[in-house]
């Protein structure tokens, strides 16, 4: 049997009938590691009789099996697991297993990547360790736990490179690199992830216009970093908050497409409420540290109309 260093392994001790005292002892390389026993329907570990955490150890209600989780952090090349149970009628019974310890492939991945929205970005993943026959799986792109796409990297020796040709808002999220190592027919995997954040000018996701007693112009947008200035302009001048025109900006969730996958991101909505609006073109200008975007709304007097909206598929920067 092969195990990998720093791996958690389950050690299970099972018998056809409960041992004396409902007690089982676990040894690692000939030395007592811990013990389990059942008392008053509780599974207790060690000499201090601490209650078992189900993630670390368990006892069966009938007292016939006991199990622990052991993390292999020894520098030895082999490890021996042993379980001992005692009985009044036929004494001590034990079972043991010896395993060879392998170093699982180790991955080195560039972390916390910030990219500009127009520049090429390269992710690199390096595998090292006791490599016999090894390779890489596809890169996986995820956002907020949602799978977006799988990508083939360019493999050169023990490195896998992933090139984001034009790093845009669709590329935001986690990128997962997976490598495998085959030792004597046993395949061991290692996984690491990095985060890509895109810095660039804002872009508008959706705009809409509502007109009844007042005219409301709204735009949902995404911006990283956060917007520094949002201005609305009438056909003749910059609009300043007053009792006839109220300009607001709020944080909200907006829905965008990432490679045909619909995802929710933290974004913004800006809107302006106008009384006695004049027909013509109104403009919103949204700025952040990396640039600005300008969007026009055309207001025309054809009676009352509501929820005239438009989705945006591309970014317009000016």
pLDDT tens for each residue of 191-209: 999 999 988 899 899 998 8
Model pTM score? 0.65
Q: Which residue has the higher pLDDT, 105 or 259?
A: 259
pLDDT tens for each residue of 42-51: 999 987 788 9
Could you tell me the two tokens for 239?
């609009």
**CB contact at 8 A, 28 and 18:** no
State the Cα–Cα distance between residues 97 and 80, nearest whole angstrom. 6
Domain extent, residue 31, equals 2-102
Q: Is the pLDDT of residue 242 over 70?
A: no
Do 272 and 248 share a structural domain? yes
Do 221 and 232 share a structural domain? yes
pLDDT band at 167 (very low <50, low <70, confident <90, very high): confident
3-state class (DSSP) for residue 240: coil
pLDDT band at 246 (very low <50, low <70, confident <90, very high): low
pLDDT at 307: 45
**CB contact at 8 A, 76 and 29:** yes
Report CA-CA distances (Å) from 248 to 39, 217, 220, 273, 308: 65, 11, 12, 9, 19
pLDDT tens for each residue of 79-94: 999 999 999 988 999 9
User: What proportion of the chain, given as a percentage, has pLDDT over 90?
Assistant: 53
Q: Final residue of a domain: which of 102, 125, 148?
A: 102
pLDDT at 303: 52
**CB contact at 8 A, 144 and 127:** no
pLDDT at 318: 29
State the Cα–Cα distance between residues 225 and 140, nearest whole angstrom. 25
Asked if the structure places residue 318 within a domain, the reply is: no
State the Cα–Cα distance between residues 204 and 219, nearest whole angstrom. 7
State the Cα–Cα distance between residues 226 and 201, nearest whole angstrom. 10
> Which neighbouring-strand residues pair with 163?
122
Q: Is the pLDDT of residue 36 over 60?
A: yes
As for how many domains the chain has, the answer is 3
Q: What CATH number is given to the structural domain containing 70?
A: 2.60.40.10
Q: Which residue has the higher pLDDT, 179 or 312?
A: 179
Asked if the structure places residue 160 within a domain, the reply is: yes
pLDDT band at 243 (very low <50, low <70, confident <90, very high): low
Do 97 and 42 share a structural domain? yes
Phi, psi of 152 (to 5 degrees): -85, 130
User: What proportion of the chain, given as a percentage, has pLDDT over 70?
Assistant: 91
Cα pseudo-dihedral 200, 201, 204, 210, rounded to 10 = 150
Q: Is the pLDDT of residue 305 over 70?
A: no
State the Cα–Cα distance between residues 255 and 262, nearest whole angstrom. 7
A 10 A CB-CB count for 80 gives: 13
**Positive or negative: CA dihedral 241, 246, 252, 256:** negative
Average pLDDT for 179-197: 87
Q: Final residue of a domain: which of 102, 132, 157?
A: 102
Q: Is the pLDDT of residue 225 over 70?
A: yes
Average pLDDT for 162-186: 88
pLDDT tens for each residue of 85-143: 999 988 999 999 998 776 667 788 887 888 876 778 999 999 987 777 889 999 999 99
Asked if the structure places residue 283 within a domain, the reply is: yes
pLDDT at 22: 94
Q: Is the pLDDT of residue 301 over 70?
A: no
Do 248 and 147 share a structural domain? no
Do 305 and 205 share a structural domain? yes
Least confident of 108-122, 159-173, 180-194, 296-310: 296-310
pLDDT tens for each residue of 23-35: 999 999 999 999 9
**Among all chains, which residue has been given the structure tokens 């990219």?**
115
Do 209 and 281 share a structural domain? yes
């Amino acid at each position: 049997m092969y195990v990998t260093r720093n791996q958690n392994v389950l050690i299970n001790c099972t018998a056809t009938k409960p041992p004396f005292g409902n007690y089982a002892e676990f040894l690692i390389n000939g030395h007592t590691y811990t013990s389990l026993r059942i008392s008053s329907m509780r599974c207790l570990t060690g000499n201090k009789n601490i209650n078992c955490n189900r993630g670390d150890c368990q006892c069966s209600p009938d007292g016939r099996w006991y199990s622990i989780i052991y993390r292999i952090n020894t520098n030895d090349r082999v490890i021996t697991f042993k379980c001992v149970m005692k009985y009044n009628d036929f004494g001590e019974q034990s079972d043991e297993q010896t395993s060879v310890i392998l170093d699982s492939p180790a991955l080195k991945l560039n972390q916390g990547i910030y990219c500009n929205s127009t520049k090429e970005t390269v992710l690199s993943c390096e595998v090292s360790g006791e490599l016999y026959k090894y390779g890489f799986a596809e890169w996986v792109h995820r956002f907020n736990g949602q799978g977006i796409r799988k990508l083939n990297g360019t493999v050169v020796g023990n490195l896998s490179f992933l090139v984001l040709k034009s790093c845009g808002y669709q590329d935001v999220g986690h990128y997962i690199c997976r490598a495998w190592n085959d030792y004597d027919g046993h395949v061991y995997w290692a996984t690491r992830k990095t985060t890509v954040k895109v810095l660039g000018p804002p872009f508008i996701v959706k705009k809409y216009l509502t007109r009844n007693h007042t005219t409301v112009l709204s735009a949902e947008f995404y911006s990283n970093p956060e917007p520094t200035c949002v201005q609305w302009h009438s056909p003749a001048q910059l609009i300043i908050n007053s009792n006839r025109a109220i300009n607001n900006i709020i944080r909200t969730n907006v829905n965008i497409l990432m490679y045909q996958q619909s995802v929710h991101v933290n974004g913004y909505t800006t809107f302006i409420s106008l009384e006695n609006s004049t027909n013509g073109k109104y403009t919103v200008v949204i700025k952040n540290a990396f640039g600005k975007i300008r969007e026009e709304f055309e207001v025309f007097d054809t009676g009352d109309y509501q929820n005239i909206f438009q989705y945006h598929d591309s970014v317009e920067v000016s």
